[in-house]
Chains A and B, each alone.
Chain A
Amino acid sequence: MKILVVDDEPDVRILFEQRFRREIRSGEFGFSFAYSGEEALTFLRDHPSEVVLILSDINMPGMSGLELLRHVKSDPLPPPPPRVMMLTAYGDEATHQQALQLGADDFLTKPVDFAALRTKLHAIETA
């Protein structure tokens, strides 16, 4: 399962690669990383129909995660449209609602509970 992780913090990559090292080694998950919303969109265009799931931060300089969400849900991209899960420090209800309204499939607050995330990812995979 190809997953695109979008976050402006470079250490996020290291974290994911270590946390999911078994799944990466076994080929169960494949992670790609983008450090901005624009980069993410470029990646999606360059690798059409590959990404199944996008895990995106909300608070980024330039295009915010919610902007990216809107683009992903409305821009004409080759099907199937990837799921989008928001990862964010802003755990308030208003942000949650806004994300859901824009079409987010899930909403996770930081610090990321990787065990729960792993469970969700497995669930998506087997679905």
Chain B
Amino acid sequence: MDDGTVLMGSPVAILLVWWGRRVLDTRTRLPEWDRWLDRLWVPGALIFALGLFSRNPANWLDDVYFLVVLAIGMAVSWQLRAYRPARTVALGLAPYVVASGIEDVIGKVAPTFLRRYHDSFDLVTVLAVTWLITFLFIARNQRKALAAELLLRQQAADEQQRIEAQNQDLEHLVHQRTASLARQTNELRATLTELKETQTQLIQREKMASLGELTAGIAHEIQNPLNFVSNFSEVSAELLDELAEERARPTRDLALEAELLADLKQNLQRITQHGGRASGIVRGMLEHSRASTGERAPTDLNQLADEYLRLAYHGLRAKDKSFNAELKTDFAAALPPAQVISGDVGRVLLNLFTNAFYAVQKRQQMGEPGYAPTVGVATRRVGSAVEIKVTDNGTGIPAHLMERIFQPFFTTKPTGEGTGLGLSLSHDIITQGHGGTLRVESQEGQGTTFIITLPA
């Protein structure tokens, strides 16, 4: 530009190219251009070398080279106009390019004008260069800021990826955990079903056991009336033979014949009566063995208690012939029928009686002199409810066991002798099935009383 001993334009241009490429990061942003920009220093170097030998064409070439470089710079900036630092660079270059261009043109067209005002031109040039340098610095800072921003964004993206990966892991874990919980739930459900089935079976077994206890007693109870049916039938046949004999006599004893006929009629009535007893017992037994979907019906509790007392007694006697006990009954007269499921309440009474007989038997086996085993049942009205008391003077229940006797599977009998479900089922039947209460009072070594209360 100015006449100096060494050309300035080319080296500066080369420097600018180098810096511009860095600032605008043309290697990544304009790779095809960058390859050429990389070689742009070559003409510059040649021009510089030429300038060292011969001034004239070199000067002009130097200026041209410089302007070309600046123009290329503008073009590159335009290409990268989306990149803010590029816009800044372009803005920085613009005044200088324009000023230089004008200066060179005027230098060729009106050199005297140039010489006259070259101070002003120099000033403008200096200003333009200052402007360019300032803007190059701004561009560099912008580039750094953008790079920092990019780095932050990259970090954020990385963080995001990391979180995504973690989320996936967690989701996987949750999935696994859910699957294992679902498995556990199914297992528990299956176990619950199995336990419910087992409970039903055990309850059925308890019913069967108490039915078995009844069987011996019932067999005896049925045999009795059936014996009378056959005996009275046989004796009636005999009476008819005798009557036929009497009628065949020449002198008939009419009084005797009348007596025989009366006896015959009575016998037939007794046959009917005993037959009815037998069917009643069978019916009672069927009710007991039927699953408890029974409905409530008005029931004579005195009769029910009496029947089951005797059944329980015979049941125990069938197992142990030497056993006997005194049976005390105290039934309230004119006790109104109670709305109960007779099969269920019968089962409860049977259970209580069986327990009572067991207790007095145990006490008898201890060999107390003068001990008279007694089991009693008493009924009475209490307000609108009915109370049934089952008492025994057996071994009694120790105080510390009192709370446990109604618990399922609790028994003081040796293994195999009791299911432990009797009292617990009885309690459920009375309280849940009938809305009543089942209490116990006992003195160890003295005896026990169970008190059933049933609402009318």
Contact = CB atoms under 8 A, between A and B. Distances in A.
Interface of A: 9, 11, 14-15, 18-19, 21, 58-59, 61-64, 66-67, 89-90, 94-95, 98, 110-112, 114
A59 B274 contact: no
Nearest to A37: B324
A39 B266 CA distance: 27
Contacts of A21: 242
B324 A114 contact: no
Interface stretch (B46-54, B206-214, B228-236): B228-236
A19 B235 CA distance: 6
Interface in B311-328: 313-314, 317-318, 321-322, 324, 326-327
A110 B234 CA distance: 14
A3 B223 CA distance: 25
A112 B314 CA distance: 20
Contact of B321 (A11, A61, A62, A94): A94
A110 B224 CA distance: 8
Contact of B239 (A18, A63, A64, A66): A18
Given A66-B321, A111-B223, 16 more contacts: A14-B270, A59-B314, A61-B327, A62-B324, A62-B326, A63-B324, A64-B321, A64-B324, A89-B220, A90-B220, A98-B321, A110-B223, A111-B227, A111-B230, A112-B231, A114-B235
A111 B231 CA distance: 8
B322 A59 contact: no
18 contacts: A15-B228, A18-B238, A18-B263, A18-B267, A19-B231, A19-B238, A61-B326, A62-B324, A62-B326, A64-B324, A66-B322, A67-B324, A90-B220, A90-B318, A94-B321, A95-B321, A110-B227, A114-B235
A49 B313 CA distance: 35
A34 B349 CA distance: 31
Nearest to A12: B228
Contact of A15 (B235, B318, B321): B235
Q: 6 closest A-B pairs (Cβ-Cβ)?
A: A111-B227, A18-B235, A64-B324, A89-B223, A61-B327, A110-B227
Given A11-B274, A15-B228, A110-B223, A59 B317 contact: yes
Given A61-B313, A90-B321, A114 B220 contact: no
A123 B411 CA distance: 55
B234 to A, nearest CB: 7
Q: Interface residues of B toward A: which range?
A: 20 to 34
Contacts of B318: 90
Contact of B232 (A15, A67, A89, A112): A15
B270 A11 contact: yes
Interface of B: 220, 223-224, 226-228, 230-232, 234-235, 238-239, 242, 263, 266-267, 270, 274, 313-314, 317-318, 321-322, 324, 326-327
Contact of A9 (B224, B267, B313, B314): B224
A94 B226 CA distance: 24
A98 B322 CA distance: 9
Given A11-B274, A59-B314, A89-B224, A114 B326 contact: no
A11 B321 CA distance: 24
A122 to B, nearest CB: 17
Nearest to A57: B224
Contact of A114 (B234, B274, B322, B327): B234
Nearest to A115: B234
Nearest to B309: A61
Contacts of A58: 321
Nearest to B228: A11
A9 B220 CA distance: 13
B429 to A, nearest CB: 27
Nearest to A98: B321
Nearest to B372: A62
A66 B322 CA distance: 8
A108 B408 CA distance: 45
Given A66-B322, A67-B324, A112 B227 contact: yes
Contacts of B242: 21
B231 A114 contact: yes
A18 B226 CA distance: 18
A61 B306 CA distance: 13
A41 to B, nearest CB: 15
Interface centre among A9, A14, A66, by most B CB within 10 Å?
Answer: A14
A114 B223 CA distance: 17
Given A11-B270, A14-B270, A59 B235 contact: no
Contacts of A94: 321
Nearest to B310: A61
Contacts of B238: 18-19
Nearest to A111: B227
A112 B232 CA distance: 11
A57 B318 CA distance: 14
A112 B228 CA distance: 10
